């Protein structure tokens, strides 16, 4: 699990079928950027928690046969 900041979105003209309808975010951590799927509604500038837990991501997507590695699991509340 890593904490990072959303710095943009990723778009693709060709997607794996399991990614249809999913928003992909570019999340910069202390070390490097990652692309993570998001179903929580995070936006550019938000601090988020991401995970590479394949079991969780497979359940989130709805299939274990997905190439997705990273997914957003939380948005940091600063209020």
Residue 27: which CATH number?
Answer: 2.40.50.220
Q: Does the model's pTM come out above 0.85?
A: yes
Domain of residue 51 covers 2-75
Burial class (CB in 10 A: 0-12, 13-18, 19+), 63: exposed
Q: Count up the domains in the chain and report the number.
A: 1
Give the pLDDT score at 57.
86
Q: Is the pLDDT of residue 79 over 80?
A: no
Q: Is the pLDDT of residue 17 over 80?
A: yes
Distance, CA of 3 to CA of 17 (rounded, Å): 28
Q: Which two tokens stand for residue 47?
A: 């601090």
CA distances from 42 to 17, 64, 68 (A): 22, 24, 18
CB of 71 closer than 8 Å to CB of 59: no
pLDDT tens-digit readout, 21-78: 899 999 999 999 999 999 999 999 999 999 998 888 888 888 888 888 899 999 999 7
Tokens 């600063």 -> residue:
78
């Amino acid at each position: 699990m890593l904490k990072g900041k959303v710095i943009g979105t990723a778009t693709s003209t060709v997607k794996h079928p399991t990614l249809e309808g999913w928003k992909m975010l570019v999340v910069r951590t202390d070390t490097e950027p990652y692309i993570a799927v998001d179903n929580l509604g995070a936006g550019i500038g938000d601090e988020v928690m991401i995970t590479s837990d394949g079991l969780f991501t497979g359940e989130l997507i709805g299939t274990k046969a997905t190439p997705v590695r990273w997914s957003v699991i939380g948005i940091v509340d600063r209020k």
